[in-house]
């Protein structure tokens, strides 16, 4: 560890197996808080390579809650957060639309990061459990096509590292890799990042992690979601090829709205917005979800193009299937709560 830490602090790039060794040491009780801080700081100052990001993600997933891989074709649409937009819960709302359109969604999420209310906050407000077991996640993916994984619950060994990260008070590699650490074996992914300069690198990481197809996006206004405010910048990963492209809302028949028009609020407010979207009420919120879910369906290979994805997303809502996915998850949560208390 001391030798590798010295290389890091000297600004040298680590090989993937070296970074795996460093990442494993982060979980060692004998590793001090100052050593953890030094690793995180050195990576931030020099900038993380794709190999280094992939290595630390692999180790984090190995130390996460075990989920047996019986469901295939699963995707996630979690973003990094950190864009400071105070938007409503776009990816969380979109997840139910994706599931209603036939995608299998293992939605990884946490408390508030860049929005006023995180995915866990709004789902908890709606009555959804945050502590699903690995077996329950598998059951929900099979029966409902969507399950939620609360990051602190599925990554219990990260507690000390997160404390050091918070004490540092500056962005670290952990501000980027949250969506990559889903313990479910994902085939595809729609990943939003708050840093436009990381698009190609994060797509390369997804390739290393075995994703067959994915889209990494930084939206108009530097959001970690697709935005209706202008030009969205993306990289499509398709069987190892990395293809950069841009998209405006009018390209897929949607109107432009400013990012101010999709601001969220507290958990109660954001739950109301989520329900309004799933009930098909016309708004900037609805169109934003249509764009994000459409891109998600295209990234998963369910839609033949992004416009087709938007149309499928709209049909998922209008048919009531998206709302059914939410109601199933609420009912499942209520039933398990009753069973635990009896």
Q: How many helices (H) and strands (E) does the chain have?
A: 15, 7
The verdict on whether residue 312 carries a ligand-binding annotation is no
- Angle 267-278/284-299 helices, nearest 10 degrees? 70
Is 69 a known ligand-binding residue?
A: no
Closest CA to 325 of 92, 67, 65, 75: 92
Count of Cβ atoms closer than 10 Å to residue 45 Cβ:
10
Q: Is 110 annotated as a binding residue?
A: yes
**342 assigned to a ligand binding site:** no
Backbone angles phi, psi at 217, to 5 degrees: -130, 145
260 is an annotated ligand-binding site residue: no
Residue 38 labelled as part of a binding site: no
Strands 213-218 and 232-238: antiparallel
Residue pair 274/211 in contact by the 8 Å Cβ criterion: no
Establish whether 83 is an annotated binding residue: yes
112 is in an annotated binding site: yes
109 is in an annotated binding site: yes
Q: Is 225 annotated as a binding residue?
A: yes
Q: How far does Cα 274 stand from its chain's mean position? A: 17
CA 8 – CA 14 distance, rounded (Å): 7
Please indicate if the annotation marks 316 as binding a ligand.
Answer: no
79 is in an annotated binding site: yes
Strands lying side by side in the sheet with 146-150? 146-150, 104-109, 74-76, 188-192, 213-218, 232-238, 241-247
Residue 90 counted as an annotated binding residue: yes
- 280 is an annotated ligand-binding site residue: no
155 annotated to bind ligand? no
138/145 Cα distance (integer angstroms): 10
Degrees to nearest 5, angle at CA 229 with 231 and 237: 40
Query: How many residues in total does the chain contain?
Result: 342
Task: Please enumerate, by residue number, every residue annotated as part of a binding site.
Answer: 79, 82-83, 87, 89-92, 107-115, 119, 165, 224-225
Task: Please enumerate, by residue number, every residue annotated as part of a binding site for Mg(2+).
Answer: 91, 224-225
Task: Please enumerate, by residue number, every residue annotated as part of a binding site for 5-phospho-alpha-D-ribose 1-diphosphate.
Answer: 79, 82-83, 87, 89-92, 107-115, 119
Task: Please enumerate, by residue number, every residue annotated as part of a binding site for anthranilate.
Answer: 79, 110, 165
């Amino acid at each position: 560890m001391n030798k590798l830490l010295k290389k890091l602090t000297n600004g040298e790039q680590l090989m993937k197996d070296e970074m795996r060794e460093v990442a494993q040491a982060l979980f060692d009780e004998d590793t001090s808080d100052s050593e953890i801080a030094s690793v995180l700081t050195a990576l931030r100052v020099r900038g993380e390579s794709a190999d280094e990001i992939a290595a630390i993600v692999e180790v984090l997933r190995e130390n996460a809650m075990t989920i047996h891989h019986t469901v295939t074709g699963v995707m996630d649409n979690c973003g990094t957060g950190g864009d400071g937009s105070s938007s409503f819960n776009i990816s969380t709302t979109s997840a139910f639309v994706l599931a209603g359109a036939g995608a299998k969604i293992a939605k990884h999420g946490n408390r508030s990061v860049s929005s006023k209310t995180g995915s866990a906050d709004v789902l908890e407000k709606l009555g959804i459990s945050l502590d699903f077991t690995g077996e329950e996640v598998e059951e929900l993916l099979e029966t409902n096509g969507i399950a939620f994984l609360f990051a602190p619950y599925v990554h219990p060994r990260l507690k000390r590292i997160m404390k050091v990260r918070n004490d540092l008070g500056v962005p670290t590699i952990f501000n980027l890799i949250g969506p990559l650490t889903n313990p479910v074996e994902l085939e595809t992914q729609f990943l939003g990042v708050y840093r436009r300069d990381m698009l190609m690198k994060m797509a390369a990481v997804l390739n290393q992690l075995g994703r067959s197809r994915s889209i990494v996006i930084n939206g108009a206004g530097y959001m970690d979601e697709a935005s209706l405010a202008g030009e969205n910048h993306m990289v499509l990963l398709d069987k190892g090829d990395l293809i950069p492209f841009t998209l405006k809302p009018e390209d897929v028949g949607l109107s432009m709205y400013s990012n101010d028009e999709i601001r969220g609020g507290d958990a109660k407010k954001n739950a109301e917005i989520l329900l309004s979207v799933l009930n098909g009420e016309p708004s900037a919120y609805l169109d934003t979800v249509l764009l994000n879910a459409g891109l998600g369906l295209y990234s998963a290979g369910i839609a033949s193009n992004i416009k087709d994805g938007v149309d499928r997303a709209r049909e998922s809502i209008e048919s009531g299937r998206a709302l059914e996915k939410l109601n199933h998850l609420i009912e499942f949560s209520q039933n398990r709560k009753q069973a635990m208390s009896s």
